[in-house]
Structures are given as C-alpha cells and as structure tokens.
Structure 1
Amino acid sequence: MTPALTDPAALAEKLIACPSVTPATGAVFDCLEAMLRPLGFTVERFVDGDEAEGGPVENLLALRRSGDGPHFAFAGHLDVVPPGEGWTSDAFLPERRGELLYGRGAVDMKGAIAAFVAAVARTPDAGGTISLLITGDEEGDAVHGTRALMRHMAARAVVPELCLVGEPTSVQRLGDTIKIGRRGSVNMWITVPGVQGHVAYPHLADNPIPRLIRVLSAIEAIELDGGTDWFQPSNIEITDLHVGNPATNVIPARAAARLSIRFNDLHRGEALVSRIAALVEAEGGTLQAKISGEAFLTPPGALSTLVSDAITAETGLVPELSTSGGTSDARFLSALCPVVEFGLLNATMHKLDEAVALPDLEGLTRIYMRVLAAALSPAAAG
C-alpha cells in the first residue's frame, strides 16, 4: 500500500488544482500520471486534433498487467466545463468546508478518478489487468477523446473484458443508481430557402416561413415509440427558430430551425436523419445533422450484478438500474465490452460551487475496491 495514494480526498484536491477546461491537456495529466506510475502502471499519453479541429486533446492509457486474469477497465475524463462566474471561492483552488470538498470537477469527475486510484492503491495485486482510459474531451465535442483512445487501444491490441465509467450517477444517496445504457442523440439544422420581396407584392416573392411551419408541424406529429423495458420514449424537441428579419415590410429570404432527438435503442441515428430529411426536402428545404452517439444498452448481467453487489455490501442499498440522463463516453466504449457507469452524486455537477461530500469519496473508494476484487477474480473472466 502506498500511503500518499490511498486518500481519495487528497488525490481529488491535486486534480482539481489543475485547471482543465475542455479540451484538456498538460498539467492535469502530469498529475494523474504521477499517481499511477508508483502503483505499477505503464502510462501512455498522446494528443489528438489541433485547434482548428476542436483540439488539442490529450488522452491517457494506463495498464498494469499481472498474470493471466481478467482485464478490468476504468474510464473517465479529466476535462471539466468552464466554472462560470459567482463561485464562493476559486473554482480551481480546492477548499474543504465542513464535510464538503469544493472545486470544479469535484464530482464530474475528478473525484471518481481519485477514488479509483485510491482503491487500486489499497488493493493487493491479485492478478489480472487493470487499465485506466482517461480523456480530456468528454465535456466537449468528444471527437478527439475516447474515440481516438479506442483507436490507440486497437493498435495496441488492448481489449478489456469489463469496463466501468466513473460518471456521477448517484441521485439522492451514493450507490442508489447505476447506468446500464444511454439514449442516443442527434441534432439537426433545417433551412428552408425563399425569395425575398415586399410584403405588398407577395406574388413576386416566396415566403419560406409557412413551409418551415409545415415541416415543423409534421415533425411535431411524429410519435417515435412508446418506450421499452429499459428506455423511456424517444423524444423530438425543437430547440431554435430563426428568420433574422428586422423589417416589418419584407418577406424573408430564408427561415431556419434546429431540433434535437434523444432516442432509445429502437432507433439508429442515420435512420432518424433520413426520416426528417424527407419531410424537409418535401418543402424544398435542406437538412444538416450531427449524430453525437447511438443508444446502447448493457443488459442486466454479470457486470451490473458485480457492481450492484459491491454497492449493497458497502451501503446496504440496492441500486436502480437506469438509462436516464444525457450521453457519456460509455456510448463509444460499449463497442469494446460490457460497460456500466457508476459514481458520485450528480446534484452539483456543472453548477457553481460544485462539491463532493468527503464521506462519499471514501465510500466510493471502498465500493471500487470491492468491484476490483470481484472483477479480477477468475470467475469474472467467465
């Protein structure tokens, strides 16, 4: 056991003290690497993407191999959202007040990374492989982060058998919720062109607004599904309308709208884009789309049971298995192996004065220790 590395609160403070607004590189990765090398990890770091592409983004792959046992991966991100104005104290100067540790990233998700490092430091080497898959681009476009990390892993033939993502999934109490899937996400931009003209001479113009309204009415009438056993119904939300016409006597030359679809595993992003595009093109419009991720589900089984049992043994709670919330990098990692998400309370993530309860950091460390012990047992490989 390495005493300096067994205290999750102290480790979290070190990570928080490294400003790492997305996309993250540099000092925060230096800090994590300094924690991992004394624990026997081989650490590989690389940067992907340039400034013009939304980068540069740093990624880290850490591996500790011991024998032929199972390979368990912990995934997470060191980048954080901008702190915003109005913090009680400096967002990147961690501060303990009572039983709370304040700082940007305390729960999302430097605290969970610190807890996992502390759990490894307290866990006897029982064989098997432990890896950390850490990106600096989860809060951003997620283009040069985990997907680039997965390409790097493929080139190195690194394939975990089980993966836990340390996102803050708990709602009311530490351990009350595990994520076993997430809905997919696609954003679409609709443009309907027209012909500008004077409102008194509409026959000499072509007003695009009525056609855009017809498109949006058709979209609003769509009922994608009624939900599934594990997912709520998919939903389409119109998130913006724009004409940009300052004049009261001018028919505009274009009208535009934006919509977002969060969808369950009954759908694929491309199929949804094609369906909406047909409605748009019928009114002479054009559609651009960005699929942020497909829906995924890790059906209840060995991994969710393993994590649930660890939570119950430590807290007495039986966690809910959930697919609620937004997207996470688990949507990419699910292509490698079974993946679930479990971490701290999410009540203050992305908020001013983000804070983690110190007892929760210790509790999460102990739960992660139980997960490691079970995941690295020979039975887990089966």
Structure 2
Amino acid sequence: MDFLPLAEELLAIRSTADRPQDLHRALDFVVDVVGPGFEVERFESRGKPSALVHAGGRRPFRVILNGHLDVVPGTADQFVPRREGDRLIGRGTQDMKLSALVQAQVFREVAETLPIALQLVTDEEVGGRDGTRHQLEQGVTADFVVIGEHSGLRVVTESKGIANARLCATGQAGHGAYQWLGDNALVKVTRAVDAVLAAYPVATEEVWRTTVNVARIATDNQALNQIPADATAWLDIRFPAEDRDFTGRSADEVAAHLTALCPPGVTAVVDSTEPPHRAEPDNPDVVALQAAARAQGYSGDLLRKHGAADSRFYFQRGVDAVIFGVGGNGQHGPDEYADLTTVEPYRQALRAFLGTIA
C-alpha cells in the first residue's frame, strides 16, 4: 500500500472535536489500514470513539503503540494536503496523523507474533480523558508505551504538567461616570493577571520553568457606561516536576497558591490539574528505542516537551511512556508540515525496536 495516497486521504478527514462523524471516519480508516486478522476492541466515552487493536494473548501488553487521530480546527484549505519538496503540508501532518499511520502499518506487519497493541484515540487535542485515560480505566495497560507525537526520531522522556485555572473577581456595578460609587471587577482581575505574570513572566525564549498563558478575560458587563461587577480570566499553566507549588498539589492547594498572588477581591479556582510525565532514561526499552533511531542515522537524543500528552495517564499508573514520532514543524499553525524524509527512518526504527521484544 503506497503511503502518501493513504496519508493524504486520512489528512482530508476533518477529524476535529466538533465533528463526531469525522472522528469515527478517521478511526475506521486507520483500523481498515491495519486490515483483517486482529481483534478490534471498540470504546466510546462522551461521544469520543477509540479502539485497541491486537492479536489477543498476553495481558498486559508488552508494548502499546499509541496514536491520536483528532486534530485542532483549521481552515478548509488546510484539509487539502499539498507537497512542497520534502514537506507534506496540512492540518495533522506533524500532529500526528502521519506517525499514527506509520504505527498502524508497522503494527500490521509484526503484531501477529508479538504481544503488542495499537491504541487509536480521537480526543487527545481536547484532553485525552475519553480516549487513552478511558481505556486505562477499563483495564488496558502495558509494560511500555510509544506515543507517536512528533519528535524527529528523538525520544521524549519528560513533559510538563498542566493546570487549568480561573481568576474570578467580583465588584459592584455603577455608572461609569461615577467610579467612586462602584467597584470595577475588570480592573481587579487585570491586576490579578499582572500579579500572576510577575511571578511567572511570559517566556520570550525556550525555558524549562512554569509558564502561564492568559487565554481569555471576560465580563458579563455589556454597557460602555457601566462599571463591571464581575470578571474572569482563564489561565493555561504548564509546570515541570521541580515546581513544588504545583507538582504533587491538589487543585485546592494550587488555587490557594494562585489566590495568594492576587490582590484582594480576586479568588483563583482550579478546574483541573494533572502531573508532569517522566519515563526513566535508563529503562531498557528507552535505550533500545534510542539505538533503533541511531541505526537510522538520527541522534535518538532524550527530549523534554513543554506540552502535555497522553503519556501522563500512563505515568500516573506507573507505566513508562515515551513520545517518538516523525519530524516536522508548525503544529496547530497555518503551515503545519511533516518532514517526509523522516517517515521511512521512523518506520524502520519502530520495526527494529519491536524486534528487540520478540
């Protein structure tokens, strides 16, 4: 089966969170690529389908290959993939449909004789709780997991934790011309944002520390001449394991920490917090995967990623999981692309690595 036509057909499926039929189409497409002769366990949680493909036998699986088939939204033209030299451009090329397709093809070639599984999910871009985490809650697990997020054939053994928080301010409405008779909640919340960013400055270069992204600030006030009585700021927080203000803390404890940074009248609420991910660098499977990458002419270096991935769900259950995928750039951007020169080396590295567990 020629790879590029399959890749282009998969990339053309607009498998975003708001299009459940296309999530099913993308999942069925890759299951069909694997072909007959394997058991296909189907899962669904809150409308998000996923599948586990395997040849039966040993549980837990020795290795799980994990790939997500959902993508972030994009314009119509981004779902018409195009080539420019060695670049395949389009939504999902780098993140991560090409890696998932290679995983499916390699699985098809070797899985009949190996205790491995292919885990296909469709909700990673919206948190992964209804795909990978849901399957884990149903008892699916493995000794080692390879997640096909892009890495340029390097091995990601560490990634940051994530906390979603809101800064909530209350005030008193009044006429905008008579400020002393009201209490502006929007001013309070912007000062709170300034205080949080003073503690966690906006990064202007790559740095391994806690970062805070201010995603949105809103108020229910609609009148230009009215003092806002409420305001909320939404924060996306990413933190490394070394930051003990977040790592190992409950949502209430993180909320108390953020509230302490804010001026009076502003309270932090943490909607969710999930720990950083880490795999042991000296795990024999990590070492074998590095060796397989090096045999293809790549460094196989260990990496740390700032973004969270489904690897965190395995880490929470004591399972080493790494990210290992094709190369490319521009994820979630208008010119996202995969580096086609990395596809075949990635395929060969996966084969070689899986050969070590035979």
The structural deviation recorded for 1:362 is 1.4
Q: Do 2:72 and 2:332's aligned partners in 1 also have CA atoms closer than 8 Å?
A: yes
Output aligned runs, 1:240-255, within 5 Å.
240-243=216-219, 250-255=226-231
TM-aligned CA distance change 1:283 to 1:112, over 3 Å = same
Q: Does 1:208 align with 2:185?
A: yes
Q: Do 1:79 and 1:136's aligned partners in 2 also have CA atoms closer than 8 Å?
A: yes
State the percentage of identical aligned residues: 27
State the distance in 2 between where 1:70 and 1:145 align: 17
Q: What is the aligned residue count?
A: 342
The structural deviation recorded for 1:243 is 4.9
Output aligned runs, 1:218-367, within 5 Å.
218-222=195-199, 232-243=208-219, 250-266=226-242, 267-268=247-248, 270=251, 271-279=253-261, 283-291=264-272, 293-302=274-283, 303-315=285-297, 317-336=298-317, 337-367=319-349
Q: Where does residue 39 of structure 2 map in the other structure?
A: 42
The structural deviation recorded for 1:248 is 6.4
Q: Where does residue 204 of structure 2 map in the other structure?
A: none
Q: Do 1:65 and 1:128's aligned partners in 2 also have CA atoms closer than 8 Å?
A: no
Q: Do 2:167 and 2:192's aligned partners in 1 also have CA atoms closer than 8 Å?
A: no
The structural deviation recorded for 1:304 is 2.1
Q: Gaps (5+ residues) in structure 1?
A: 50-55, 225-230, 378-382
Q: Secondary structure at the match of 2:74?
A: coil
TM-aligned CA distance change 1:207 to 1:265, over 3 Å = same
Q: Secondary structure at the match of 1:148?
A: helix
Output aligned runs, 1:1-382, within 5 Å.
4=1, 7-22=2-17, 24-38=22-36, 40-49=37-46, 56-65=47-56, 71-87=62-78, 91-92=79-80, 94=81, 98-123=85-110, 127-152=113-138, 154=139, 158-170=140-152, 175=153, 177-198=154-175, 201-209=178-186, 211-212=188-189, 215-222=192-199, 232-243=208-219, 250-266=226-242, 267-268=247-248, 270=251, 271-279=253-261, 283-291=264-272, 293-302=274-283, 303-315=285-297, 317-336=298-317, 337-374=319-356, 376-377=357-358
Larger radius of gyration: 1
Q: Which amino acid aligns with 2:49?
A: E
TM-aligned CA distance change 1:79 to 1:194, over 3 Å = same
Q: Which amino acid aligns with 1:31?
A: F
Q: Do 2:61 and 2:141's aligned partners in 1 also have CA atoms closer than 8 Å?
A: no
Q: Which amino acid aligns with 2:67?
A: G
Q: Which amino acid aligns with 1:196?
A: A
Mean Cα displacement is larger for which, 66-75 or 178-187?
66-75
Q: Secondary structure at the match of 1:108?
A: helix
State the distance in 2 between where 1:248 and 1:17 align: 44
State the distance in 1 between where 2:347 and 2:167 align: 47
Q: Please, what is the CA RMSD of the aligned residues?
A: 3.1
Q: Gaps (5+ residues) in structure 2?
A: 202-206
Q: Where does residue 52 of structure 1 map in the other structure?
A: none
State the distance in 1 between where 2:11 and 2:221 align: 46
TM-score normalized with structure 1 length:
0.78
**What's the CA shift string for 1:147-189, capped at 9, x where partnerless?**
212223x1xxx4210100000122xxxx2x3211211111222
Mean Cα displacement is larger for which, 69-78 or 301-310?
69-78
